[in-house]
Each structure stands twice: as C-alpha cells, then as structure tokens.
Structure 1
C-alpha cells in the first residue's frame, strides 16, 4: 500500500507541481488549499505525512502545525518556508515540525526527505507497538505503566504491575520467592520475605476471575509461582 501524503498549499501551481512528483513516486496524494481544510482532511484521511506551507490564508502554517502535532502526535510534518527565513524554520520546528524545505526547492529533495520521514515515523510506531506485552485477555503498556484485562484498566500498584509484566513475559517459567524478591524489590531488600506472597495474593484478587481459582498465576509448591502457559 502506498504512503499517504497531505499537501496543504494555497498556491494551486505549487500544489499541483508537488502532487505530480509525489504521484510519480507512488504516494497517495490528498490536497488542501487552506489550513482549515487541511485539518479537516487530516482528521478524515489520516495521512502518514503532511507537506505544510507556512504562509496560508486564514489560519497560518504555524497554527496548523501546532494543531496537527497536538491531535496526531505520530504524523510526519514537513514545512515549506521562504528562502532565508531562518526564524520560520526555528518556529516551525519548535511547534512540532519534523523537517523543512526552503522555497524554491528541488522536487527530488522534497521526495527524499518525505521518504526518510516516512521511515522514521514507521520505526517510531514499531517501537511504541513493541512496548505492549499481550497474553490472553491481558495487555500491559510498558511505556505508560498501565495494564488492561479485556480492555478494562487494572488498578495496580507499581510492584503488582512489575510482577504481572514479569509473569506475562515469561509464561510457564517458575520463579522462586527469592528470585521474585531480587527482581522486583532488589537484592538489597531487608524487609519480610512474605511481602512476595502478600503482593501475589493482592495481584490475584485483581486479575483472576471470581469464579475460578489461580487461573493465571499458579503456585508451584516448594518453589514459588508461575504464569500458566496455554
């Protein structure tokens, strides 16, 4: 599937010139002649990147850039700035633009910058996706430190969260109480070792089904605990 680019440029000749070149390089092109329409198109079309002119009628490119970055944090933004206007470049980057190209520009330079940005956005998206750990009805987001069961957020303490993460990342592996203590609380922990059992019990209450017992976290007699592997 081709990458989708939104061109927000009020000058029809420039917009058409950009469109032709992106079409030649297998981009799916959508276009808007104003900032207001550009924001509407971004909401409905979900482009991968936006080519955004600074000087627009109505709301200018800076305002559009700020709105895009706020509403679509993963979108790629390349701003078109006037020659020699360094302040335009700095302001655009401060408001969330990823890159800029100075008018007049070589179309191939714009295409190459767009392709590079698409790759960076894709890599960033993959990294964010890889931060999610899933198992059965559970999803944990290691970035936000939130856990969900059947799309419902679980109210976990930090220690309970890290226990759940450790179990889900190692299904079927038996952990001794000492191993859990060292991993979750640290090897220098000097409190009561029963804290492991207390936290396991609390975690079970929050994640197990009320009609079942130890469906997810199993007790390994004489050892400790493990996450039940399907």
Structure 2
C-alpha cells in the first residue's frame, strides 16, 4: 500500500507542485488549504506524514502542530515556512514538528526528506520482539515504540523516539551534531544542526529531573552529545 502524505498549504501553486512530485514518486496525496481542514480530513485519510505550511488561514501551522500533539497524534510533520527568522523555525520544532524547510525549496529535497523520515520509521524497530532496552530508570520497548520512566509511560514524538534510541545504541560515545543528523534524520549532506539541539532539549524535558543538570544526556561542548547511565555520569564527573 502506498504511503499517504497530507499537504497543507494555502498557495494552490505550491500544493500542486508538491502533489505532482509526490504522486510521481508513488505516494497517495491529499491537499487541504487551511488549518481547520486538517482535522476534517484526518479521520478518513490517516496520513503517514504531513507537510504543513506555517502561515495558514483559520489555524496556522503552529496551532495545528500543537493541537495534533495535544491529541497524542505523533504523525511526522515537516514544517514549511517562508520566514527566514530562526525563531519562527524553532517555534515549529518546539511545538512538535520533526523538520522544517524554508521557501522557496527544491521539490526534490522535500521528497528526499520525506523519504528519509518514512524510511527510518519503516526500519524501526530493529530489536527482537519483546526486547526491553534499559538505561537507568528509562525503559525502551522498540517493537512497541514505547518509552517509560520510573514505570510511567512518557509520550515521545517519532523523532524524539528515534533520537533516544540512537543515543542508547551508541551510549557512552560522543556523537557530533552532524553524526546525529545523519543517524537520526538520515541527512547525507550538511544540515542545520540546530534541529538536533532543539530535539535534545525536548527529550531532556521529558526524561531528565532537571534539564539544566541532566542525568542522561550530557553536552560535549563544541562537539555534540553523549548518553550515559546516571551512575556512570556521576563517576565520570567525580
């Protein structure tokens, strides 16, 4: 069955361009032109990914993203923005978007990013059925894509789950931001590493007692990040 992509953009020329290229690549595509229409089409279309413009009538992209996540809908979202201001891009990530692209953009690059996200989702889980990965008080169940902390389930977006899983796979190793972009976002080019920093911040907010003094995800200045078990981190800092 072909993967389904929901395109949300109020500029018909852009929607048609995206739709043409995605259908050419074999995707099933539905286009809507305002934020409220997203929630009308979701029950019957059930997209595998949403391409979401930031500036929309009725509900803007941030409001749509926030509402989806508040409903525990973790469908991957690529945010499109015509705004160059970094704060607008970061705001999209802060409200649950997995990635962003600035207009004007190459349809081929958008297609590549969609393929990368869906490819990684399709590749997970890679663990044995029923396997539980434990690090400190965190338990990861890859086959169910579930994470718990002290026995309580915590809600992660698909990208946060992939990021945590990748860090666990390479626990104790220093990973550069570019390595994380390659390993988690499947970028095979120099990407905007601020995407990594924002997702690390979100992940810390969910798994750390104190995000300013993290137990698990340690920042390696001017390099990247390293995941350690709490006891290992304490001994390494002693």
TM-score by length of 2: 0.52
User: Secondary structure of 2:20's partner?
Assistant: helix
Q: Which residue of structure 2 lines up, in the alignment, with residue 62 of structure 1?
A: 62
Q: Which residue of structure 2 lines up, in the alignment, with residue 45 of structure 1?
A: 45
How far is the alpha carbon of 1:129 from its aligned partner? 9.7
Q: Does 1:89 align with 2:89?
A: yes
User: Secondary structure of 1:47's partner?
Assistant: coil
Task: Give me the whole-angstrom Cα distance separating, in 2, the residues matched to 1:77 and 1:54.
Answer: 11
How far is the alpha carbon of 1:41 from its aligned partner? 1.4
User: Secondary structure of 2:30's partner?
Assistant: strand
Q: How many residues align?
A: 138
Task: Give me the whole-angstrom Cα distance separating, in 2, the residues matched to 1:128 and 1:94.
Answer: 29
Q: Which residue of structure 2 lines up, in the alignment, with residue 33 of structure 1?
A: 33
How far is the alpha carbon of 1:73 from its aligned partner? 3.7
Task: Give me the whole-angstrom Cα distance separating, in 2, the residues matched to 1:22 and 1:132.
Answer: 36
1:1-230 equivalence runs, <5 A: 1-124=1-124, 126=125, 130-131=129-130, 143=147
Kept in 1, the 8 Å contact 2:68–2:74? The answer is no
Task: Give me the whole-angstrom Cα distance separating, in 1, the residues matched to 2:129 and 2:75.
Answer: 18
Distance of aligned partners of 1:72 and 1:49 in 2 relative to their CA distance in 1, 3 Å threshold: farther
TM-score by length of 1: 0.54
What are the ranges of 5 or more consecutive residues in structure 1 without an aligned counterpart? 134-140, 147-230
Kept in 2, the 8 Å contact 1:66–1:96? The answer is yes
Kept in 2, the 8 Å contact 1:76–1:121? The answer is no
Task: Give me the whole-angstrom Cα distance separating, in 2, the residues matched to 1:122 and 1:86.
Answer: 31
What are the ranges of 5 or more consecutive residues in structure 2 without an aligned counterpart? 133-143, 153-238
User: Secondary structure of 1:17's partner?
Assistant: helix
Which one has the largest radius of gyration? Answer: 1
How far is the alpha carbon of 1:85 from its aligned partner? 2.3
How far is the alpha carbon of 1:44 from its aligned partner? 2.4
